[in-house]
Amino acid sequence: MQELETHDPVVIFGAFDRHNFGDLLFAHIAAKLFERNELIFAGLARRDMRVYGGHIVESLAQLAAQWGHQRGNQRVHVVHAGGEILTCSDWEAAVMLLPADEAQRIIARLDRHSDERRAWAHARTGLDALLPYMVSRAMFPRSASVTYLAAGGVEFDRLDAGMRAEALTKLAQADAVSVRDVHTRNMLAAAGIGARLMPDPAVMVAELLGSRIRARSEQSGVAQLRSAFPDGYLAVQFSADFGDDRTLGALARELDRVSRESGLGIVFFQAGAAPWHDDPACYERIAAKMKSTDTAIFRSLDLWDICAVIASARAYAGSSLHGRIVAMAFGLPRVNLVHPAHARDTTKQCAFAASWEPAGVPGSVGIDALAEAIFVALASEPAMLARTASRLVACYRREFAPMREVMGLA
């Protein structure tokens, strides 16, 4: 272990180069936890995400090239900030960096042409990597440390041979590896990689950023929602793959029942605007299908507004893992929604719930079971939900300490 020098760059690396509120949140949590003024936030593309409440994000490939030429002896600490990065392919990563209309054209042109697809993805990211959100130590030959904070990889056993080999090589080169669910930890252990178990960084959101989020709820459109729904509202979100008419019809019936029997309003919001995330047109369509008029669509894509709309709700229901975790951090009832196509799969949502939720709190449910699961969640004891939030904060801090030690920051 080498002591961290004041001039050593610390690179926080993750998918905060595109719009997904969980990834944007990771950067802010890392900034609070590492307590350094000169953190560098890096992704696969250089972006200014401040318009969404994010950071200025550097391109990892450009940083490596720049430091290789200008600062050949530079030691650098690379911290993987979290997320489902152990299985995010080059193609997926590159497409999610595109505007939605351009992404559709590229998918239509290249989706069935694997060789062309890979060449295009590598050109977009500047990295010759199958799993580009995992850093190769060769990029920074004098790297002081490479760490993984609460990484996700529930589909690790489904990787093809090339991707699996690359992932295992990169993990074996790291100084410290932690993952956010038991399922991923067990798969890595079977492959010879020892990993610590720690909760997702977003469990820290209320502890570290709660005052900012609560203030935002008073200053933004969230205050209008609270006024419009004096008995409270259910914050609802789902990804674009739920957008076929049959699925939306079933969801509309479930949410009508929730509104009718609980008196809650239904507020739809986007957790991510990157390709393969959420589509606001789906919310327009489901609202039109619902009989209840106690509905609203919250349109802001600002990170702090999204956190505030969840934190101010009576409960959260949706497909986003980080929708769940933010609700969890604020001690709120929560339910994840699983797409029918993945009903038999171990998803990141159900793996996380199985790892960290107390008995009796609903995990992931199918569409037709949504209303019943929401009622069960709403009946959860508030003190138990608060204890869960506190327990996860304590666990994260305990497991984060060895990561700091790797970098000489303890």
Residue 407 lies in a domain: no
**Does residue 231 belong to any structural domain of this protein?**
yes
pLDDT of res. 4: 44
Query: In terms of domains, do 29 and 148 share one?
Result: yes
Judgement on whether residues 268 and 359 belong to the same structural domain of the protein: yes
Query: Is-contact 34 26, C-beta < 8 A?
Result: no
What mean pLDDT do residues 20-28 have?
A: 96
Q: Within a 10 A sphere around the Cβ of 274, how many other Cβ atoms?
A: 19
Q: In this structure, are strands 56-59 and 47-48 parallel, antiparallel, or unpaired?
A: antiparallel
Q: Are residues 275 and 133 in the same domain?
A: no
User: How many structural domains is the chain composed of?
Assistant: 2
Q: How far apart are CA 266 and CA 282, in angstroms?
A: 14
According to the model, what pLDDT value does residue 1 have? 35
**312 and 168, same structural domain?**
no
> 180 with 247, same domain?
no
Domain end among 198, 224, 252:
198
Q: Is residue 1 part of a domain?
A: no
Q: What are phi and psi of 58, to 5 degrees?
A: -90, 160
What CATH number did the domain enclosing 361 receive? 3.40.50.2000
* Cα–Cα distance measured from residue 121 to residue 132, given in angstroms and rounded to the nearest whole number: 10
Question: pLDDT tens-digit profile of 39-82?
Answer: 999 999 999 999 999 999 999 999 998 886 555 556 889 999 99
Q: Could you tell me the residue range of the domain that residue 178 belongs to? A: 10-198
Dump the DSSP string for 327-338: HHHTT--EEEE-
More confident residue, 409 or 282: 282
Predicted local distance difference test score (pLDDT) of residue 25? 97
Q: How far apart are CA 382 and CA 402, in angstroms?
A: 32
**Given 150, 167, 198, which residue is the final one in a domain?**
198
Asked whether residue 177 falls in the same domain as residue 240, the answer is no
Q: What global pTM score does this model have? A: 0.95
The separation between CA 18 and the C-alpha centre of its own chain, rounded to angstroms, equals 11
> Residue for token digits 């900012």?
212
- Give pLDDT, residue 2: 42
Of 187-201, 214-228, 243-257, 367-381, where does mean pLDDT reach its minimum?
214-228
On whether the CB atoms of residues 404 and 410 are closer than 8 A, the answer is yes
| Assigned domain for 402 exists | no
Q: Residue 378's CB: how many other CB atoms inside 10 A?
A: 17
Please compute, for residue 321, the number of CA atoms within 13 A of its CA located in the half-sphere on the CB side.
26
Side-by-side strand order, sheet with 265-269: 295-298, 265-269, 233-237, 315-318, 334-337, 364-365
Asked, for residue 405, whether it belongs to a domain, the answer is no
Over its C-alpha atoms, the chain yields an Rg (Å, rounded) of: 21
Strand partners, 297: 268
Enumerate the β-bridge partners of residue 268: 236, 297
Which of 86-95, 139-148, 233-242, 383-392 has the least mean pLDDT? 139-148
The secondary structure of residue 43, as a DSSP letter, is E
- Interval 112-128: pLDDT, tens: 888 898 999 999 999 99
Residue 59: beta bridge partners? 43
Distance CA(18)–CA(87), nearest Å, equals: 17
Kindly state the tokens that stand for 166.
Answer: 């690359």
Within a domain: residue 408? no
Within a domain: 320: yes
Same domain, 55 and 184: yes
**Which amino acid appears at position 59 of this protein?**
S
To the nearest whole number, what is the mean pLDDT of the chain? 93
Domain identity same for 233 and 164: no
**Any idea how long the chain is?**
410
Specify the 3-state DSSP secondary structure of 79: strand
Q: Name the domain boundary from 151, 182, 198.
A: 198
Residues 94 and 117 in one domain: yes
Q: Are 232 and 345 found together in one domain?
A: yes
pLDDT at residue 410 in the model: 58
Residue 234 in domain: yes
Does residue 93 have a pLDDT over 90?
yes
Predicted pLDDT at 76: 87
Q: Count of CB atoms within 10 A of residue 200's CB? A: 32
Give the distance from CA 135 to its chain's centroid: 18
Q: Is the pLDDT of residue 396 over 70?
A: yes
Shared-domain flag, residues 57 and 177: yes
Q: Which uninterrupted H or E stretch holds 397?
A: helix 382-406
Reply yes or no on whether the pLDDT at 218 is more than 80.
yes
| DSSP H helices in 126-181 | 161-173
pLDDT digits (tens, 9 = 90+) for 262-301: 999 999 999 999 988 999 999 999 999 999 999 999 999 9
Same domain (yes/no): 101, 67: yes
What is the DSSP code (8-state) at residue 20? B
Q: Which residues pair with 269 in a beta bridge?
A: 298
pLDDT of residue 99 exceeding 60: yes
